[in-house]
């Protein structure tokens, strides 16, 4: 949990979360912001990064490695149209 939390905390401090919030509705930009956040996960750690609406519909997903045993943390992100959730799971 702490690794995922650290990644999202760093992403927030670097402005990547704001960038993601502003990119809503613009596929290439949100993909770019998701890639930036995912790049903060240490190499060789499997991860899943999902951006979801409040109702649980997927907006963007990016993942890598074995998805079987990931520890998740989620944060709330308000965009210009809705309140969304960004969940990051990182494996050991």
Partner 1 sequence: MKRAYLLTTTAIVVAYLTILLIQGISEEVAMLREVAAQRTAVTRLSYCAEAISDDLPRYLRREVEREVLRSAASGDLPDPSKIDVEEWRTASSDYLTAQKVLAELDIGGASLSRSNAPEGAVVCKASLGYSLQDQVYETELQGEGAVTFVVPVRIYLMSDVASNFRWSIADKIKRAFSVNGNTSADTVRGIISETIGEYKRSCANMGLEFGVDVGMEFSSDNETTTVFVSFKDLRVTDVSPSAEILVDGKPTRVTFRMKSSNRTLVFRHN
CA within 13 Å, CB half, 23:
19
Residue from the set 8, 49, 88, 90 that interacts with partner 1 by CB under 8 A: 8
Count the residues in the chain: 92
Cα separation, 33 vs 67, in Å, equals: 21
Shortest gap between Cβ of 38 and partner 1 (angstroms)?
18
- Per rule CB under 8 A, is residue 76 in the interface with partner 1? yes
- Per rule CB under 8 A, is residue 53 in the interface with partner 1? no
Cα separation, 92 vs 79, in Å, equals: 31
Residues that bind partner 1 (CB under 8 A): 1-2, 5, 8-9, 12, 17-18, 21-22, 24-26, 54, 73-81, 83, 85
């Amino acid at each position: 949990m702490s690794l995922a939390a650290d990644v999202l905390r760093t992403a927030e401090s670097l402005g990547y979360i704001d960038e993601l919030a502003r990119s809503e509705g613009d596929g290439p930009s949100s993909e770019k912001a998701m890639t930036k956040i995912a790049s903060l996960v240490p190499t060789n750690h499997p991860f899943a990064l999902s951006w979801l609406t409040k109702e649980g519909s997927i907006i963007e997903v990016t993942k890598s490695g074995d998805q079987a045993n990931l520890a998740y943390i989620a944060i709330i992100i308000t965009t210009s149209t809705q309140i969304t959730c960004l969940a990051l799971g990182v494996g050991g």
